[in-house]
Amino acid sequence: MAAKRTTKALTATAAHEARAERLQAATGALATAAIAAMDEELPWFGKLSAQDRSWIGLVAQSGITAFVDWFRDPEAHSSMPTRMFGSAPREFTRVISLHQTVDLVRTTIEMIEDTIGDLLPTDDVPVVREAMQRYAREVAFAAATVYAQAAEMRGAWDARLEALVVDSVIRGEADESVRSRASALGWTGTATGTTGSSEVAVVVGRAPEADLGTENVADAVRAAAREAGADALCAMQGDRLVIVLGGTSKPVDIVQKLAGWFGPGPIVVGPVVKDLMSAVTSARAAVAGLRAAPGWPDAPRPVQADELLPERSLSGDGHARRQLASDVYGPLTIGDGVLRDTVAAYLDSGGSIEATARAMFIHANTVRYRLKRVGEITGYSPTNPRDAFTLRVALTLGRLLNPEPGTYVL
């Protein structure tokens, strides 16, 4: 009995080997028929370049050859379905989509099932078709794996490229190459559903404490920004999170919806600029504002960088000093400088209108009128404690930068 079983097993093995040899001999005809079927049934295939069609032909031929090896000994060639894609270069996944790859596999399998009846003996056809069904499932999983790995690699590369773009903006090196790199990342700089150029603002805050991963945070920030109607580039820089917002003239409204992705502490929004090439101005103010923010513990979150001008000037920000001197002190010196003198007397008197009137020998209503004019001209009201502090610093800086009465030069 044992001898009969052994003889029967040897006979089955020999029959299977013979069937595999016949299938091996038919691979050339199957590969040719596969390319012809793709050209006939897939409209997009004929639109590819000759090089791309050659790559796909190599994959198809590799797949048919791999099927023969797998059919001959499935256990010894269990990894063959995954390896069949090794003949295609990395760019293969950029040439055709996963959906198109599935169409290729389906077309090839259907072609083999329809063709093997003409190439193999009748007894071989059911066995080969059953094996092909099993193999097709493995090929589908292999294709999904290849595209998943390609997506991971692109994601990692995009994250590095995005960090490089944001770093260039922070360091003031935004040029045409930065614009090109941002465009490669899908940056349009425009609000959702709009076209044309847009305004840009840079936002800086502390990085989140939770170990969420740079890519996870960046993806979430971009998604939230798009939902809010803006475009965004995002990068972690050490212990800070930097976001470049595009497509909005009201970045504070957008940042309020993104605040949850920042760590504890201040979030500073730089001034709005016309485009990405000018974003260094916004970035410089935002970074300086984050450095100076501890000087104003009760600052709103988020806070605009221009609201931190006094703290920025005290922390050594020369741009903030010049801005206070030109935009706040400068307008007060127009004419005979009466507005400057009035606000200085008001601040020196501890915020008393009556004391200011007595010191300047004018009516109290005149003081009130002049203080109102100061607020209209500079945007800072002397009667507001926070604005009064800003005016005090601006007066001091203006005097230091322009010591001569009646002259104002920056």
| Lowest-confidence region among 25-34, 136-145, 186-195 | 186-195
Question: Average pLDDT of 241-264?
Answer: 90
- The more confident residue out of 182 and 331 is 331
Any domain includes 347? yes
Of 277, 307, 337, the residue that ends a domain is 307
The encoded tokens of residue 352 equal 């008393």
**Residues 6 and 127 both lie in one domain:** yes
pLDDT tens digits along 185-230: 677 766 554 444 478 999 999 988 765 555 578 778 888 888 888 8
- Give me the pLDDT at residue 19, please: 83
Any domain includes 396? yes
352 pLDDT band (50/70/90 cuts)? very high
Task: Reduce the DSSP state of residue 103 to 3 states and report it.
Answer: helix
371 in Cβ contact with 343 (< 8 Å): yes
Of 307, 333, 358, the residue that ends a domain is 307
Any domain includes 180? no
**What separation in angstroms does the CA of 102 have from each of 96, 136, 142?**
10, 10, 11
Q: What angle do CA 74, 76, 78 make, to 5 degrees?
A: 60
**Residues 278 and 332 both lie in one domain:** no
- Give me the pLDDT at residue 153, please: 47
Question: Average pLDDT of 237-246?
Answer: 89
Half-sphere exposure of 381 (CA within 13 A, CB side): 6
**Residues 218 and 102 both lie in one domain:** no
The encoded tokens of residue 351 equal 């915020």
Contacts of 136 (CB under 8 A, 6+ apart): 105, 109
Label residue 201 exposed, middle or buried (CB < 10 Å: 0-12, 13-18, 19+).
buried
- Give me the pLDDT at residue 83, please: 52
Question: Average pLDDT of 243-260?
Answer: 90
Q: Reply yes or no on whether the pLDDT at 373 is more than 80.
A: yes
Domain hosting 331: range is 318-401
Rounded Cα–Cα distance for residues 110 and 99 (Å): 17
Any domain includes 358? yes
- Give me the pLDDT at residue 144, please: 64
Q: Reply yes or no on whether the pLDDT at 157 is more than 60.
A: no
Estimate the crossing angle of helix 27-41 against helix 50-72, to 10 degrees.
140
**Residues 25 and 147 both lie in one domain:** yes
**Residues 277 and 337 both lie in one domain:** no
CATH code, domain with 217:
3.30.70
Rounded Cα–Cα distance for residues 336 and 347 (Å): 19
Half-sphere exposure of 245 (CA within 13 A, CB side): 32
**Tokens 């001959």 sit on residue:** 72
**Residues 296 and 322 both lie in one domain:** no
339 pLDDT band (50/70/90 cuts)? very high
CATH code, domain with 340:
1.10.10.2840
Q: What angle do CA 307, 312, 316 make, to 5 degrees?
A: 165
> What is the percent of the chain with per-residue pLDDT over 70, rounded to a whole number?
79
Any domain includes 186? no
pLDDT tens digits along 41-84: 888 887 888 887 887 777 777 777 777 887 887 766 555 555 55
Any domain includes 194? no
User: DSSP per residue over 297-330, as a string?
Assistant: TT--SSEEGGGGHHHHHHTT-HHHHHHHIIIIIH
Q: Reply yes or no on whether the pLDDT at 409 is more than 50.
A: no
Any domain includes 172? no
**Residues 98 and 218 both lie in one domain:** no
**Residues 141 and 222 both lie in one domain:** no
**Residues 322 and 302 both lie in one domain:** no
User: DSSP per residue over 55-93, as a string?
Assistant: HHHHHHHHHHHHHHHHHH-TTTTTTHHHHGGGGS-TTHH
Q: What is the 3-state secondary structure (H, E, C) of 239-255?
A: CEEEEEEECCCCHHHHH
**What separation in angstroms does the CA of 376 have from each of 77, 308, 381?**
82, 20, 8
**Residues 6 and 150 both lie in one domain:** yes
Question: Average pLDDT of 132-159?
Answer: 62
**Residues 248 and 214 both lie in one domain:** yes
Q: Reply yes or no on whether the pLDDT at 92 is more than 60.
A: no
- The more confident residue out of 138 and 311 is 311
**Total structural domains within the chain:** 3
Q: Which of 91, 87, 69, 86 is nearest to 78 (CA)?
A: 69
Of 286, 307, 328, the residue that ends a domain is 307
Any domain includes 279? yes
Rounded Cα–Cα distance for residues 159 and 31 (Å): 40
**Residues 212 and 343 both lie in one domain:** no
pLDDT tens digits along 258-291: 998 899 999 999 999 988 888 889 999 999 999 9
> What is the percent of the chain with per-residue pLDDT over 90, rounded to a whole number?
35
Element (H, E) at 201: strand 200-206
